[in-house]
Amino acid sequence: MRIEIRARHIALTETLRTYVERRVRFAMGRLSDQVRDVTVRLEDINGPRGGVDKVAKVTVRLEHGKQFAAEAEEASFATAVDRALERAGHSLGKVLGRTHRQAGESVRTAPWELEELPSPT
């Protein structure tokens, strides 16, 4: 999995770069072998004026060609990155879950779903 980080209107510090890379690896988790590359775009819309203007845009390209994106706007880059990657990770699970089920894999049933519950009397 290749990770690309782009910054617009901000200085991309080594601390921020390291944080984003670590969070990307965590968000993609066990499904990262299905991910070709992740691009994270960081932008400060208002500049030094402050406010809820830090934007993180995440684009994920999968090995089999599909692509999807997630975005978050928050007061800090850390929060924006976390929220956007949380959304991207959730989407990744949904996209790959559908792909695996379409390919014929069975969906595993949880043990508690197999138990028969007593009927109320």
Sign, CA dihedral 47-49-50-55, equals negative
Phi first, then psi: what are they for 110, rounded to 5°?
-70, 145
For 69-119, write each residue's pLDDT tens digit.
999 999 889 999 999 999 999 888 888 876 544 444 444 444 444 444 454
Q: Which domains, ranges and CATH numbers included, belong to the chain?
A: 2-104 (3.30.160.100)
Which residues 6+ apart lie within 8 Å of 88 measured at CB?
27, 28, 38, 58, 60, 68, 69, 70
Residue 16 clears pLDDT 60, i.e. is over it: yes
